[in-house]
A = this chain, B = another copy of it.
């Protein structure tokens, strides 16, 4: 790999993946806890914060009615408006998994917010298991948001099992993919070997030359255990922070030079990273 002639890009962004434990049916408590942890991350210097999938609502719904009750409109609902106020006050960016209601439809969404307020929404494309009973598949594609700190893409959990998701973001110029997630165990993992979620993040960061910041939840909800092990991966494919604890709330930090994902990563004189 020959990077030297390109010179480094110049600006560091401190990213925080906030691993937390939302609880289904406790929207107000989930929102309060998310704000506490965001506050802690900002004290830790974070400029771009990532929260887990469905962190306003919890995950394991039993009925459509329960999901409906936990959902909110973007950007006017309780969690959206609180997070927007927080980002305005603290001058930071936030990507958070949110249970979204849009008229009669529910989406498993990711909201992107900046110091000037609401930026945009991604809606999970690949619904996992019983999510199919509650949510509509995402209808917004794989957007890349051009912000003052860099080009931010976001998708959610099982979307990351599809190489096309990373590819779509990278080809549209993403510097970083922020992944709110609720990973569940994959059978067959050998003691001491990396989780498949880590393997997927590394492989796809490497093949696409894009940073990845994945914030997972922890805990067990209605019998469903979640993995934790949030991770921040360099555009090189090597982990920069984490995997975090499999069990505990935790904030992972890494200082990323997002411009490096744009520098032509010439593996040699003939081969750029993506083409």
Which residues of A line the B interface, CB within 8 A? Answer: 1, 126-132, 158, 161-164, 166-167, 186-190, 193-194, 196, 199-200, 202-204, 206-207, 234, 236-239, 267-271
Q: Taking A194-B194, A196-B237, A237-B199 as contacts, is the C-beta distance between A129 and B270 under 8 angstroms?
A: yes
Q: Chain B residue with minimal CB distance to A161? A: B207
Determine chain A's interface SS by DSSP, over half rule.
loop
Copies of this chain present: 2
Q: How far is the CB of A45 from chain B (nearest CB, A)?
A: 24
Nearest B residue to A198 via CB reads B199
Query: Is the CB–CB distance between A167 and B158 below 8 Å?
Result: no
Tell me if B207 and A162 are in contact (CB < 8 A).
yes
Q: Complex: how many Å from CA A145 to CA B188?
A: 29
Min CB distance, A129 to chain B, in Å? Answer: 4
- Beta-carbon contact of B206 and A200 below 8 Å: yes
Closest to A237 in B: B196
CA distance A184 to B56 in the complex (A): 45
Q: Are B196 and A202 in contact (CB-based, < 8 A)?
A: yes
A204 close to B129 (CB less than 8 A): no
